A and B are shown apart, each in its own frame.
Chain A
Amino acid sequence: MTNPNRTRLWRSEGASGLTLISPPLIYAVLMLAAPLATMAVYSVFTDGYLTIEPILTAQNYIDTWTDVLYRSVMLRSLLVSVFVTAATVILAYPVAYFVSFNVDPSKKSMWLFLITIPFWTSYLIRVFMWKVILGYNGVINSGLKALHIIDQPLGWLNYNVGAMVLTLAHAYAPFAILPIYVALEKIDRSLMEAGQDLGETRWTTFLRVTLPLSMPGVIAAVLIVFIPTIGDYVTPNLIGGGKIPMIANAIEKLMLKADNKPLGSAIAISAMLIVGLVSVLFLFLNRRFMRGQR
């Protein structure tokens, strides 16, 4: 009470807001902003033997964007996440639609609960499960062998992009279902009746009314799946067997095994920029679809 200014400062809204968010803020600064800044700095420094020389250079970025190896890994990552996103969203939409439109309202929360059950199992274990299913001596191969349908295990089940897409799509399905479900729930049901009343069939009403109105949910689902998939590290390692690395695996290798932190940082920053660009594109799309919706 001796210093009225201090009291006022302490009581001001800004200060109390800051107090409220300070634990996660400190955490975010230490665990996210600081490492990011470090990487950004590393990416323009020069790699030395076991050290990082503070000599500014663009060479890391030039390597990142010109080296065929890194470019193809980046492209593969993009391709896998595009496939995973497409598969996930296309599979998730009917499920979300079913829960929103066909499930009795009193049972909806139970259905959503059931949909989240896969999350009770660790992501790592779910990925590993697919290895067990698809592996050389896995469930499918040994099952087919036991039934004498095949003599030799099918090698193409595992260690390829298809298996990675399958695994990731399965892992992210609930993430995609929930935002689409929320978007569908918000649609006034009389709009569908109006569509039919104005001469459209159920299907054309879906295309002209339901689908465009649910696009914000679809776009949210796309982002939620796309962003983490592109940087996925576990699945290429386990399902891809380390032979078909994605960008995260390449970064890890450069950072640790190859001890080239500046190049690793440049690739990481570049990958982040690409993801950021794609996300911004989708956000703009979303704004277009959000037109007229509160």
Chain B
Amino acid sequence: MTFSSKSETMIEFRDVHKYYGEYHALRGINASIKAGEFFSLLGPSGCGKTTLLRTVAGFEGISSGAVMVDGRDMADVPPNHRPTNMVFQSYAIFPHLTVEENVGFGLRKDPRSKEEKAREVGKTLELVGLTGFGKRAAHALSGGQRQRVALARALILKPKVLLLDEPLSALDKKIREQMQVELIKLQREVGITFVLVTHDQEEALVMSDRIAVMFDGEIAQMDEPERLYRKPASQRVANFIGTMNFLPTRILSDGARVATEVQGLGLVEVDASQVSGAATAGQPVVGFRPETLTILYEGQQATDREAWATVREVVYYGDMTYYDVVIDGTDRELRLSMRNVFGRPVLDIGTRTRVGWSPGALVLFR
């Protein structure tokens, strides 16, 4: 593994199916995860993301297909012989052992001397920022510290793949955000392939090199965070990742430029590259993110196009304000976000205002 480069495939799912009796939990998963990549499986609960992760760890068998790790079919490899280690959602810290004993748990068969192992444990504790905690009883740790013990316990074995099953979901917001950054740094430092399962889209966007969005046992989209956010493959993905506004539309002509008539916005031409997958209801819609709409204050010119709207709701966040507005001629509230810059007043409910928008920021779902 001295020459692992980012292009090398570490994990490959080949048409993986999984049935629980009648229930079809995984419906033909095809994906490959590169060595050294921070990969996330993102989806609502019950979408199969944890099941998929557990097929890599070996805790879950598959009904058909193949799971390959580092070029090797894992079909007959039990969990204790796989080159993977897992950070469990509950952390699964052994309550009868100390922090040290937990971290060194997997070193039993390691041929090194006791002293060398102890040094390794110390080094790994330092890596996760738990120096000096070695003698503590595991139950006397906070959630964040347990999380670190679980990480250290897995990383000390130098796995090829580290599997993380919703590792941050039990932590409160502040510690969670701090751990997100630490995990990214840690992953860069150790260079191990990380596969993270999460239902938190923000967490996935922040941490991952690539994200697979899963619904109902299938991968709906697999992309880099930015592409996933900018151009969701379907209206369902768009709804799951962040906030997106939708307006019904009618397609007038097809081709390299697609002409549509959008409710309230009028005639819009979009590039073929802005056309994406299925609209949920079957009827075409255009989608746009809150930050692509701007409130135009007195004297401000729209960079592209503008429309009149009424403010229906104001949600003040400190650094940001979210407005729910209704553009004249439409029948639904659209969310837009404005950064609160000095000297820019927060509008009141009921204010009539112009909003600026740009056809280039739209995504057409058809």
> Taking beta carbons and an 8 Å cutoff, which residues of A are in contact with B?
188, 190-191, 193-201, 204, 208-209, 212-213, 289, 291-294
> Nearest 6 CB-CB pairs, A to B?
A198-B106, A194-B92, A190-B92, A292-B95, A196-B79, A292-B139
Instruction: Answer whether residue B85 sits at the interface, using C-beta atoms and an 8 A cutoff.
Output: yes
Given the known inter-chain contacts A198-B106, A213-B95, please indicate yes or no for A193 contacting B139, CB distance below 8 A.
no
In Å, the complex CA distance between A209 and B102 comes to 11
Contact A196 B80 (CB under 8 A): yes
Contact A198 B96 (CB under 8 A): no
Instruction: Answer whether residue B62 sits at the interface, using C-beta atoms and an 8 A cutoff.
Output: no
Contact A199 B153 (CB under 8 A): no
Given the known inter-chain contacts A188-B90, A199-B157, A293-B139, please indicate yes or no for A193 contacting B79, CB distance below 8 A.
yes
Task: Specify which chain A residues have a CB less than 8 angstroms from the CB of B95 in the assembled complex.
Answer: 213, 292-293
In Å, the complex CA distance between A280 and B108 comes to 33
Shortest Cβ gap from A206 to chain B (Å): 13
Contact A209 B94 (CB under 8 A): yes
8 intermolecular pairs with C-beta atoms under 8 Å apart: A190-B89, A194-B88, A197-B80, A199-B109, A289-B96, A291-B137, A293-B95, A293-B96
Q: Mark B85-106, 1 if CB is under 8 A from A, else 0.
A: 1101110101111000000011
Given the known inter-chain contacts A292-B137, A293-B96, A294-B139, please indicate yes or no for A197 contacting B57, CB distance below 8 A.
yes
In Å, the complex CA distance between A199 and B77 comes to 12
Given the known inter-chain contacts A292-B138, A293-B95, please indicate yes or no for A190 contacting B157, CB distance below 8 A.
no
Task: Specify which chain B residues have a CB less than 8 angstroms from the CB of A294 in the assembled complex.
Answer: 139
Task: Specify which chain B residues have a CB less than 8 angstroms from the CB of A190 in the assembled complex.
Answer: 88-90, 92
Shortest Cβ gap from A25 to chain B (Å): 36
In Å, the complex CA distance between A294 and B93 comes to 14
In Å, the complex CA distance between A158 and B88 comes to 55
Contact A291 B79 (CB under 8 A): no
Task: Specify which chain A residues have a CB less than 8 angstroms from the CB of B90 in the assembled complex.
Answer: 188, 190
Contact A196 B78 (CB under 8 A): yes
Instruction: Answer whether residue B59 sits at the interface, using C-beta atoms and an 8 A cutoff.
Output: yes
Instruction: Tally B residues with Cβ within 8 Å of A.
Output: 27
Task: Specify which chain A residues have a CB less than 8 angstroms from the CB of B79 in the assembled complex.
Answer: 193, 196-197
Contact B96 A212 (CB under 8 A): yes
Shortest Cβ gap from B133 to chain A (Å): 14
Contact B57 A292 (CB under 8 A): no
Secondary structure at the A interface, as helix, strand, loop or mixed, is helix
> Taking beta carbons and an 8 Å cutoff, which residues of B are in contact with A?
57-59, 78-80, 84-86, 88-90, 92, 94-97, 105-106, 108-109, 137-139, 153-154, 157
Of the candidates A198, A289, A291, A293, the one whose C-beta lies within 8 Å of that of B105 is: A198
In Å, the complex CA distance between A196 and B90 comes to 16
Contact A291 B88 (CB under 8 A): no
Shortest Cβ gap from B48 to chain A (Å): 18
Task: Specify which chain B residues have a CB less than 8 angstroms from the CB of A212 in the assembled complex.
Answer: 96
In Å, the complex CA distance between A45 and B133 comes to 59
Task: Specify which chain B residues have a CB less than 8 angstroms from the CB of A188 in the assembled complex.
Answer: 90, 92
Given the known inter-chain contacts A188-B92, A291-B96, please indicate yes or no for A200 contacting B80, CB distance below 8 A.
yes
In Å, the complex CA distance between A294 and B137 comes to 12
Contact B80 A201 (CB under 8 A): yes
Contact B108 A199 (CB under 8 A): yes
Task: Specify which chain B residues have a CB less than 8 angstroms from the CB of A291 in the assembled complex.
Answer: 96, 137
Contact B105 A193 (CB under 8 A): no
Contact A198 B88 (CB under 8 A): no
In Å, the complex CA distance between A194 and B88 comes to 8
In Å, the complex CA distance between A293 and B138 comes to 9
Contact B85 A197 (CB under 8 A): yes
Shortest Cβ gap from A149 to chain B (Å): 47
- Chain A CB count within 10 A is highest, among B80, B88, B138, for B80
Contact A191 B157 (CB under 8 A): no
Shortest Cβ gap from A161 to chain B (Å): 36
Of the candidates B78, B89, B139, B153, the one whose C-beta lies within 8 Å of that of A198 is: B153
A201 to B, closest residue via Cβ: B80
Contact B96 A199 (CB under 8 A): no
In Å, the complex CA distance between A208 and B80 comes to 14
In Å, the complex CA distance between A193 and B96 comes to 16
Contact B85 A198 (CB under 8 A): yes
Shortest Cβ gap from A16 to chain B (Å): 36
Q: Please name 13 further chain A to chain B contacts, defined as beta carbons within 8 Å, in addition to the given A197-B59, A199-B80, A212-B96, sorted by A numbering.
A: A193-B59, A193-B79, A193-B86, A194-B88, A196-B58, A196-B78, A199-B109, A204-B108, A209-B94, A291-B137, A292-B138, A292-B139, A293-B96
A198 to B, closest residue via Cβ: B106
In Å, the complex CA distance between A291 and B140 comes to 11
In Å, the complex CA distance between A184 and B210 comes to 40
B106 to A, closest residue via Cβ: A198
Task: Specify which chain B residues have a CB less than 8 angstroms from the CB of A191 in the assembled complex.
Answer: 92, 94
In Å, the complex CA distance between A121 and B192 comes to 62
B84 to A, closest residue via Cβ: A197
In Å, the complex CA distance between A197 and B59 comes to 9
A187 to B, closest residue via Cβ: B95
Task: Specify which chain B residues have a CB less than 8 angstroms from the CB of A197 in the assembled complex.
Answer: 57, 59, 79-80, 84-86, 154
Contact B59 A199 (CB under 8 A): no
Given the known inter-chain contacts A188-B90, A190-B90, please indicate yes or no for A199 contacting B106, CB distance below 8 A.
yes
In Å, the complex CA distance between A196 and B58 comes to 10
In Å, the complex CA distance between A209 and B97 comes to 9
Contact A194 B157 (CB under 8 A): no
Task: Specify which chain B residues have a CB less than 8 angstroms from the CB of A201 in the assembled complex.
Answer: 78, 80
Contact B108 A193 (CB under 8 A): no
- Chain B CB count within 10 A is highest, among A188, A198, A204, for A198
- Chain A CB count within 10 A is highest, among B78, B92, B97, B138, for B92
Contact A194 B78 (CB under 8 A): no
In Å, the complex CA distance between A193 and B86 comes to 9
In Å, the complex CA distance between A289 and B139 comes to 13
A289 to B, closest residue via Cβ: B96
In Å, the complex CA distance between A292 and B105 comes to 16
Shortest Cβ gap from B95 to chain A (Å): 4
